Structure 1
Amino acid sequence: MKTQVIINFLAGTYSLLNNTQWRNGTMVPDPWGEQPAGLLTYTRYGYMSAVMNSMEPEMRPPGIQWPPSNGGSIDDWALIGKSSLSYAGPFSLNTSVPLTKFSGQVLHGPVTTSSIPRLVGGIQRRNFTVIEQDGEVYLSIAVITTQVGAKSEIWWKRIAKG
Structure 2
Amino acid sequence: MRLHLLALLAGGPAHGYELRQALEKLLGAAYPQPNIGQIYVTLGRLEQAGLIKGRLVSQSDRPDKRIYEITDAGREAVDAWYETPSETPRIRDDFFMKLALAHGTGRPDQIDLINKQRRHYLNLMRALSRLETGEATGDARIAELLIEGASLHLQADLDWLERCQEELE
| Shared fold, TM over 0.5 | no
TM range (shorter): under 0.3
Greater share of helix: 2
Greater share of strand: 1
TM-score normalised over the length of structure 1 = 0.20
